[in-house]
Amino acid sequence: MLRFDVPPVHANAARVDALITSVVCTASLLGLPFLMPILAVMGFVRGFVGHYKCPSHRLATDALKKKGWAGPPENAGAKMFANKILFVAASIASILYFMDIAFWIVPTTALLVFSSFEWMFSFCAACWAYGLWYRFFPPKMHD
């Protein structure tokens, strides 16, 4: 469902968010897995509160706007959905790591792959799934 109750997200600022996710996941897989809760917090704020409340997203947006590189505005609904998935996956990875279960590598690797697709190719798998869901199950209109 399109979200008009929150400000739109600039395309390149969302790509910077994905780059940050990729960097944290890479660092985690290279020996710093205790950083994963950072992604859980970022995913929670951007996914449930809104991108406009996330400090890293606001910094990226402001910096890109000053250079004229922010990109076109996009509806925030699909990006919020993607960040809810980030929150869940990063939370699971964090819990598994702190429970000393090596399976934390699986959600971290998945996040690395999909966030890399976003920042390199501007392909958001969660956004695609979000759009597909609403194509097959459109929201009911109330009179």
The pLDDT tens digits along the chain (143 residues) read 556 677 889 999 999 999 999 999 999 999 999 999 999 999 999 999 999 899 999 999 999 999 999 999 988 888 998 999 999 999 999 999 999 999 999 999 999 999 999 999 999 888 888 778 878 888 777 65
Residues with Cβ within 8 Å of residue 71, at least 6 apart in sequence: 10, 11, 12, 13, 15, 64
Reading the block at residue 75, the tokens are: 């509806």
Amino acid at 83: N
Q: Which of 61, 58, 112, 111 is nearest to 84 (CA)?
A: 111
Residue 118 CA to chain centroid, in angstroms? Answer: 9
For residue 48, count other CB atoms closer than 10 A to its CB: 12
Write phi, then psi, for 119 (nearest 5 degrees): -75, -30
Q: What is the largest CA-CA distance in the chain?
A: 55
| Residue 74, beta-bridge partner list | 9
Integer Cα distance of 14 and 136 in angstroms = 26
Amino acid at 24: V
How far CA 97 is from CA of 51, 91, 92, in Å, comes to 27, 10, 8
**Model pTM?**
0.89
Integer Cα distance of 29 and 93 in angstroms = 11
pLDDT digits (tens, 9 = 90+) for 87-127: 999 999 999 999 999 999 999 999 999 999 999 999 988 88
